[in-house]
Structures are given as C-alpha cells and as structure tokens.
Structure 1
Amino acid sequence: MATMKDIAKLAGVSTSTVSHVINKSRYVSEEISERVNSAARELNYRPSALARSLKVNRTKTIGMLVTTSTNPFFGEVVKGVERSCYHKGYNLILCNTEGDNERMRGSIDTLLQKRVDGLILMCSSLEGERIDVFEQYPDIPVVVMDWGPMLFTSDKIQDNSLRGGYLAAKHLIDCGHKQIGCITGPLVKHQAQMRYEGYKRAINEAGLTFSADWIVEADFECEGGYDAFNRIYAKGKLPSAIFVCNDMMAMGVINAAHEKGIHIPQDLSIIGYDDIHIAKFMTPSLTTIHQPKYRLGKAAVEALLNKVEGGSTDAQVVQLEPTLVERSTVLTLN
C-alpha cells in the first residue's frame, strides 16, 4: 500500500508538502499540488481513515442503539438518523439491544471503545437507568430519543406525547363520541403514560365519564392490541370509539374486531398514534396522530453534531409537536 513517503519521492517534494496537499492544511501552489495529486493517483493512494482519526481525535462515526420491535416506527426514525449522518459526512454504527439490559450496556461499552464521536440512544430500557460507563467517557456527547427521565447527562429529542394523546381523544369528542375507551402502552414507560394523561385531560375537559372496562394496558405491539380488544369485548358493551396508543396495536384491534363481525368505523371508531407509513394503506385507512419520525432522527443528529463540533455543552430538550391525520376509521356521529 502506497504511503505519503512514496508520493513525496515520486513527486519530488517533501513528505510534509504531500500531507498539506492531501489534508488541505496549508496553501500549496497549484503546480506542486497537481504533481502531488498526480503521483497519488498513479500510486493508487488511499488515505488511512484510522490514522486520520487518531491525528484529529475524530472518527466521523456515530453509534446508535435501538430496541427490538416489530414496529416500523423505529425503522422510520433510523432512516432519518442514517440519512442525516450521510449528508453530514458521518458514518452510522447501529446496534440492536434485543430489549436486553446487559446487551444494551455491552453495546454501549463496545461503541465507546470503538471511539465513536457520539451516541444516539433509543432504548426504552434506559429509562431511569444509571450507565456507569458514561462516567469513563465524559467527553462523548449523548442524545436520547423519545424516552423518559435519565440518570445521566444528555440532550433529549422527544415527541409531545401529552399533546398527542389529548389531540386523539379531542378528535373523537369533536366527532360526537361520548363513550371513549383507551388501550395504552406499558404505563411504566414515560411516553405511554403521557399519551394516557393526554387522553384523560380531554375526557375530563369535556365532562365525560371513564369506564374502567374500556381502559386496558397493553404492550405497543400488534398482538397486544389484539388481546386488549378481546379483553374489552369480553366485559360486555363496547364504547363507540377507542384511542389506541400506537398504530401497531390499532392494527391488532381492527383485526380482532373484524373476526367478531364488528365494522370499523360503522360500529366502532378507532384512532391510532405514530402515523407509520403503512397506516394509510390499511383497510380502512387509519386515522392517527402523526409523530414526526424523520424529523426526530434528523434533530437527534443535529443536536449530537452540535456537541461534537464544539457547540453548547448544556443538556437541551428538543420537543417536536404531533398533528392529527384524518382518514377513515373515525365515524362522525349525529
């Protein structure tokens, strides 16, 4: 493999001149620059990314941890992260935690040992966890996406789930529904709790009553929505509408309702949350709360690189606002 010394010998210049030309670290005349570049091409020279990273103490690499899920929400966020990294000239190393706490900690340790410039974490198991390894790498910036309180310093990018839950229930109320159920995510998770709190706020504001039979906790997966609807159905009379706290569970609800001959939205209105890409292609297409997934990913990269490239060192929270997407699963009552 050709080295800078080989280029210097062929071009008839010093090694330091070759370095200045290749790294663009100092002005070199056009004639000499051309000789150096011509020699580099002739020798098929490729600069060492490792050597350069050691010299500038930067690898141009970002590590990202995500939890396992069948929910395409995560893939859509990762797409925003990866594309933003590409446009900024950074590489992305993606690790899957499989929802395992030890694997999560091991992956964080591995990424830090590989000298990534920063970390983006999107793992629900992080909530309320203290990650001791961060104390060994105090200069590595961390951005946490879409989860609750952390016991370490980081920027945070999140969706306003309280507002989103309120918008969902308020839309059902505005469409004339007075008997409104809710299938929540795991209420130990901050975002699930906030969506449920938003639902309760809208119900209270409208002076409607809650029925414990119509409020069920589930797991943010299709099977969880399917089972949650069956539990509501088994208790007797159904509400006229249900706020299902993510689109994956809403798909499970619609499937379970279809098996029982319940028509959506004629017999039961459904509103989801996330606006995953396939939501508009369901039958009927799903009314939902749009979470800005691509912008979540883009904002995470921008916040991280602001720290990496010498911006503010203070921890910041960036909150993106959800919006209502009206489709075909909510019936307007007279």
Structure 2
Amino acid sequence: MATMKDIARLAGVSTSTVSHVINKSRYVSEEISERVNRAAQELNYAPSALARSLKVNRTKTIGMLVTTSTNPFFGEVVKGVERSCYHQGYNLILCNTEGDNERMKASINTLLQKRVDGLLLMCSTLEGERIDVFERYPDIPVVVMDWGPMLFTSDKIQDNSLRGGYMATKYLIDSGHKEVGCITGPLIRHQAQMRYEGYKRAINEAGLDFNPNWIVEADFECEGGYEAFNKILSKGKLPSSIFVCNDMMAMGVINAANEKGIKIPEDVSLIGYDDIHIAKFMSPSLTTIHQPKYRLGKAAVETLLKKLEKETEEAQVVQLEPTLVERASVKVLNQ
C-alpha cells in the first residue's frame, strides 16, 4: 500500500508538502498540487481513515445498540438513524444486544474501544441501569431513545406515550364504546406504563368503570397479544373495544379473534400503537397511534451531533408527539 513518502519520492517534493495537498491544510501552488495528485493517482494511494481520525480525534462513526425484537418498529427507527448518518457523512456501527444485559455492556465496551464519536442506545434493559463504563469516557456523548429513567447522564429522545395512550382510549370512547379493555406491554417498562396511564386517564375522565377482566399485561410481541386476547375471552364477556398497546400485539389479537370466529370490528373494535408499516396491510387495516419512527431516528442523530459540536452542554429531552391514524378496525357505535 502506497504511503505519503512514496508519493513525495515520485512527485519530487517533501512529505509535509504531500500532507498539505492531500489534507488541504495549507496553500500549495497549483503546479505542485497537480504533481502530487497525479503521483497519488499513479500509486493508487488511499488515505488512511484511522490515521486521519487519530489526528483530528474524530472517527466520523456513531455506535448504536438496539434490543432484538420481531417488532419492525426497531427496524424503521434504525432506518431513520442510518439515513441521517449517511446525510451527515457519518458511518453507523449497529450492535444487537439480544435483550441480554451482559451482552449490552460488552457491546458498549467494544464500541468505545473502536473510538466511536458518540452512542445511540435503544435498549429496554437500560432502564434503571448504572453503566460504569460511561464514567471512564465522560467526553463521549450518549443519546437514549424511547426508554425510561436512566442512572447516567444522557440526552433523551422519546415518544409522548402518556398522550398516545390517552388519545387511543379517548378515540374508542368518542366512537361510542363504553366497554374498553387494554392489553398493555410489560409494565416494568416506562413506555408501557405511560400508555397504560393514558388509558386510565381517559377511562376516569369519561366516568367509565374499570373491569379487571378486560385488562391484561403482555410482552409487546405477537404471541403476547394472541395469549392476552384468549385470556380476556376465557374470563367471560368481551368488551366492545380494546386498546392494544402496540401493533405487534394487535396482530396477535386479530389472529386469535379469527380462530374463534370473532369479527373485527363488528364484534370487537381494536386500536393499536406505533403505526408500523404493515399496520395498513392487516385485515382489517389497523386504526393506530402513529409514532414518528423515522423522525425519532433523525432527531437522535441530530441531538448527538449537536453534543459533538459542543452546541449545548446540558442534557436535552426531545419529545415527539403521537398522532391518530384512522383505518378500519374500529366500529363507530354512536352514529
């Protein structure tokens, strides 16, 4: 592999002159610059990204940790992150934690050793965790995406899940439903708890009764929604509507209902949460709460770059607001 010394020898100039031409760090006459560039081309010289990163103390690389899930929500967020990195001239290293705490910590160590400029974390296992390694790298900015309280300093990008849960439940109530069930995510997770709190707020505001048989905690996956619907069904009469706290569980509910000959929305109305890409292709197409996944990824990258450029010192919280997407899975009763 050719070096700057090889180029200097072929062009008949000093190594420092070659460095100034290639790095554009000082004015060099047009005639000499042309000689250097021609020599570099002849020798197939490729500048070392590692050497340059050591010189400027930047690798133009961002590390991202994400929890494994069958939920395409994560893939849609990663797409926003990757595209934003590309437009900003950064590379992305993606690590999958498999939901394992030790693997998560090992991945963080690996990314820091590879001298990433900053970290994006989208791991539910981080909630309430103290990550000691961050104390050894105080200059590496960290942005946490879509999860709850952290025991380390970081910027945070989150969806307003409390408002989203309230909007979903209120939509069912405004559509004439007085029987509203809820299939929650795991309530140890901040976002699942906030969506459930939004549900309770709307129920209380409307003066409706809570029926514990219609409230089931599940796992944010298709299988969890499937089992939760069958659990509600086993306890007796179904409610006229159910707020399912993410679209993946709603898919499981639709499958379980089909098996039992229960029609949606004729027999029970459903509203989901996330608005993943396939939600509109379900049968029936799913009414849901849209979470701005691409903007979540884009905002995370922009926030991290602001920290890298020292535009702000304080930890920032960026909250993205959900919106309602009406499709075909909710029957209006009050018309």
Which TM-score band applies after superposition, normalised by the shorter structure? over 0.9
Partner residue of 2:84? 84
Residues 28-84 of structure 1 show CA distances to partners (whole Å, capped at 9, x for unaligned) of 222222221111111100001111111111111111000111000000000111111
Answer yes or no: is 1:200 the counterpart of 2:200.
yes
Q: Secondary structure at the match of 1:150?
A: coil
What CA distance in whole angstroms lies between the structure 1 residues aligned with 2:56 and 2:45?
Answer: 20
Q: Residue 215 of structure 1: CA displacement?
A: 0.5
CA distance in 2, matches of 1:302, 1:32: 40
Query: Which residue in the other structure is 1:183 paired with?
Result: 183
* Residue 309 of structure 1: how far off its partner (Å): 2.3
How much has 1:278 moved relative to structure 2?
A: 0.4
Q: Give, in whole Å, the separation in 1 of the partners of 2:241 and 2:142.
A: 40
Inter-partner Cα distance in structure 1 for 2:236 and 2:329: 22
Q: Which residue of 1 aligns with 2:307?
A: 307
| Aligned mates of 1:6, 1:106 — CA distance in 2 | 40
Residues 236-273 of structure 1 deviation map (CA, whole Å, 9 limit, x = unaligned): 01100000000000000011011111000011100000
**Residue 224 (structure 1) aligned with residue 224 (structure 2):** yes
Tell me the CA shift for residue 328 of structure 1: 0.4
User: Is 1:66 equivalent to 2:66 in the alignment?
Assistant: yes
Moved more, 266-275 or 26-35: 26-35
Quote the residue 1:131 is aligned against.
131
Separation in 2, partners of 1:159, 1:327: 22
Separation in 2, partners of 1:240, 1:172: 9
Structure 1 Cα separation of the partners of residues 189 and 9 of structure 2? 63
- Give the partner amino acid of 1:243: F
Determine helix, strand or coil for the equivalent of 1:273. strand
Cα separation, 2, equivalents of 1:21 and 1:285: 59
Secondary structure of 2:129's match? coil
Partner residue, 1:26: 26
Partner of 1:246: 246
> What is the rounded CA distance, in whole Å, between the counterparts of 1:280 and 1:31 in structure 2?
61
AA partner of residue 173 (structure 2) = I
Q: Does 1:167 align with 2:134?
A: no
- Aligned-pair distance for 1:175? 0.6
**How far apart, CA to CA, are the structure 1 residues paired with 2:251 and 2:332?**
21
Comparing 203-212 with 323-332, greater Cα deviation is found at 203-212
Partner Cα separation in structure 1 for residue 198 and residue 211 of structure 2: 16
Deviation at 1:20, TM superposition (A): 1.2
Q: Distance in 1 between matches of 2:268 and 2:20?
A: 70
Q: Which residue of 1 aligns with 2:287?
A: 287
Shift of 1:26: 1.7
Measure the CA separation in 2 of the matches of 1:210 and 1:99. 33
| 1:108 pairs with 2:108 | yes
Aligned-pair distance for 1:206?
1.1
CA distance in 2, matches of 1:194, 1:23: 51
The worse-fitting range, judged by mean Cα deviation, of 304-313 and 58-67 is: 304-313
SS at match of 2:273: coil
Code of the residue aligned with 1:140 in structure 2: it is I
**What's the TM-score, normalizing by structure 2?**
0.98
Amino acid at match of 1:316: Q
Q: Secondary structure at the match of 2:112?
A: helix
SS class of match (1:200) = helix
Identity of aligned residues (%): 86
Measured in 1, the distance between the counterparts of 2:296 and 2:201 equals: 25
Task: For residue 10 of structure 1, give the secondary structure of its aligned residue in structure 2.
Answer: helix
1 CA distance for matches of 2:6 and 2:213? 78
TM-score if structure 1 supplies the norm length?
A: 0.99
Root-mean-square deviation (Å)? 0.8
Unpaired runs of at least 5, structure 2: none
CA–CA separation in structure 1 for the residues paired with 2:332 and 2:19: 70
- Stretches (4+) displaced over 4 A: none
Count of residue correspondences: 334
Counterpart of 1:163, as a letter, is: R
1:311 is displaced (CA, Å) by 2.0
Worse-matched range after superposition: 8-17 or 218-227:
8-17
How far residue 13 of structure 1 moved from its aligned partner, in angstroms, is: 1.9
Mapped partners of 2:87, 2:28: distance in 1? 29
Cα distance between partner residues in 2 of 1:16 and 1:309: 29
Shift of 1:5: 1.2
